[in-house]
Structure 1
Amino acid sequence: MLELYQFELSQYSEKVRLMLDYKGLAYRKIEVTPGVGQLEVYRLSGQRQLPVLKDGNIVIADSTEIAKYLDQQYPDRPMIPTAPKERALCLLMEEWADESIGVKSRKVLFNGLSQDQRFRSAMLPANTPDVLKNLVESVPSEILKTLGFGLGVSPDAVKSATEAIKQDLEALCLLLREQAYLVTDRPTMADFAVAGLSILLKFPAGPYLDLPADLRGKGVPGIADNPLYETFFTWRDRLYADYRQPLSSASASVSASRPTSIEID
């Protein structure tokens, strides 16, 4: 069985999970412990970034390379068009999504966490003690913003990323008003990239991710609840309903109800 080394709330991991589900491939999720667990990923793949897909003795790092491998090795339901113009558009849009939505939405999410205390505590694992949840909720927004400077998430960086994301969503809405998918009349790698990478802006409402129920359907204030972007999120919800396997019925795709963690002594 295919093995996906991942972070559950990683947009790039979600991009790959969407593609695996679209192709109907069974896989096992292996949740990597941040930091120490990535040493094992390095031993496996020669680098520390996730996701990493293991297919027997073959190891593939990087979500784009994984997509290309899946199309080559499992050609049913191809995700990368062969017609020159459509292929070019697909590859360009996928790369754009990685570098724009994938990078900037993390900065936008940080701002959302500082604005919404309930959203902030919902990001914690479901078994987090109430006392810790209350502590996280009580951290003043100004302290979080100050912390953001050390993480490269200054107010100016957040503002710039937010404006860029809003422009991206506006463009996507305009495209999707005229067509069912971004490139062709069927889903491509571009669709799965855009949909998966957008989860930090607004989490899917359905049981697709292993996260607290309070977090499903929630997102960054001013974006997730903005009617200007309803076309995009409605499109994404339809893509999920059509192709993403819910956790409750994904017994063929995962080895257990929760991912397996890698721990190194």
Structure 2
Amino acid sequence: MLELYQFEMSQYSEKVRLMLDYKGLAYRKIEVTPGIGQIDVYRLSGQRQVPVLKDGTTVIADSTAIAFYLDRQYPDRPLIPTEPYPRGLCLMMEEWADESIGVKSRKALFGGLSQDQNFRTAVLPTSTPDIVKTIVGSVPSDILKMLGFGVGASPDEVKAAQDALRQDLEALSLILLDKPYLVGDRPTLADFAVAGLSILIKFPSGPYLDIPDNLKGKGIPGLADNPLYDSFFNWRDRLYADYRQASSTATRTSSSADAPTSIQID
């Protein structure tokens, strides 16, 4: 069986999960422990980032490289068109999504966590002790904003990211007003990239991610709840309903030198 080394909350991991589900491929999720687990990911793949896909003895890092591999090895339900124009458009939109939505939504999420105490505590795993939730929820917004300077999410950077995402979401909403997919009449890598990378803007409401129930359907205030972007999020809901499989919490724990450490996500 295919093995996906991942973070459950990783947008790029979600992009790959969507692709695997679309192709109907069975796979096992292996949740990597941040820090120590990434050292083992490096031993496995030569780099520290997830997602990493393992297919027998073949190891592929990077969500885009995984898409190309899946189309070569499992050609049914191709992700990338072969015709020149749709292929070029698909690859361009996927690259744009990686560098725009993928990067900006992480900064915008930090701003959302700073603004909303309930949203902040909802992001924590359900196994988090109540006392920890209370402490996290009580951290003043001003302190979180100060911490943002150290992680590339200062108030100015958060505002710039949120403003850019408003333009991105408006553009996507307009494109999808009367079209079923971003490129042509079937889903492509562009659709799964845009849908997967947008999960930090608004988490899917269905049983797709191993996250607390009170986080499902929630998102960044001002973006996730803006009716101007309804056509985009309605499109994403349909894409998930048609192709995304219900999440499984099955993971593998390993202490061997060639596999990342696994944790259970509630």
Give the TM-score, by structure 1 length: 0.95
In 2, Cα distance between the equivalents of 1:41 and 1:128? 26
In 2, Cα distance between the equivalents of 1:38 and 1:130? 28
- 1:159 maps to a residue whose letter is K
The answer on whether the counterparts of 1:4 and 1:52 sit within 8 Å (CA) in structure 2 is yes
In 2, Cα distance between the equivalents of 1:62 and 1:206? 26
In 2, Cα distance between the equivalents of 1:73 and 1:134? 48
After superposition, the C-alpha distances for 1:208-265 in whole angstroms (9 at most, x for unaligned) are 0000000000000001000000000000000000000012xxxxxx5xx34335439x
> How far does residue 178 in structure 1 lie from its aligned partner after superposition?
2.4
2:52 maps to 52
Question: What's the % identity of the aligned pairs?
Answer: 73
**Aligned with residue 260 of structure 1, among 252, 255, 259:** 252
In 2, Cα distance between the equivalents of 1:56 and 1:35? 25
- 1:168 maps to a residue whose letter is D
- 1:54 maps to a residue whose letter is K
In 1, Cα distance between the equivalents of 2:221 and 2:133? 20
> SS at the partner of 1:21?
helix
2:245 maps to 245
The answer on whether the counterparts of 1:210 and 1:258 sit within 8 Å (CA) in structure 2 is no
Structure 1 segments unaligned to the other structure (5+ residues): 248-253
2:116 equivalent to 1:124: no
> SS at the partner of 1:260?
coil
After superposition, the C-alpha distances for 1:105-146 in whole angstroms (9 at most, x for unaligned) are 000000000111111111111111111111110000000000
2:88 equivalent to 1:91: no
- 1:260 maps to a residue whose letter is R
1:216 maps to 216
The answer on whether the counterparts of 1:170 and 1:229 sit within 8 Å (CA) in structure 2 is yes
The answer on whether the counterparts of 1:173 and 1:229 sit within 8 Å (CA) in structure 2 is yes
The answer on whether the counterparts of 1:117 and 1:137 sit within 8 Å (CA) in structure 2 is yes
1:102 maps to 102
1:147 maps to 147
The answer on whether the counterparts of 2:28 and 2:250 sit within 8 Å (CA) in structure 1 is no
- 2:144 maps to a residue whose letter is L
2:14 maps to 14
> SS at the partner of 2:31?
strand
2:77 equivalent to 1:77: yes
In 1, Cα distance between the equivalents of 2:71 and 2:102? 22
In 2, Cα distance between the equivalents of 1:168 and 1:37? 34
> SS at the partner of 2:38?
helix
The answer on whether the counterparts of 1:109 and 1:200 sit within 8 Å (CA) in structure 2 is yes
The answer on whether the counterparts of 2:8 and 2:31 sit within 8 Å (CA) in structure 1 is yes
After superposition, the C-alpha distances for 1:139-189 in whole angstroms (9 at most, x for unaligned) are 000000000001111111111111110000000011001211001100000
2:64 maps to 64
2:229 maps to 229
2:2 equivalent to 1:2: yes
In 2, Cα distance between the equivalents of 1:258 and 1:165? 34
1:33 maps to 33
In 1, Cα distance between the equivalents of 2:126 and 2:186? 36
In 2, Cα distance between the equivalents of 1:53 and 1:246? 19
> SS at the partner of 2:30?
strand
> SS at the partner of 1:220?
coil
> SS at the partner of 2:54?
strand
2:256 maps to none
Could you say what the CA RMSD is over the residues aligned between the two structures, in angstroms? 1.0
- 1:87 maps to a residue whose letter is R
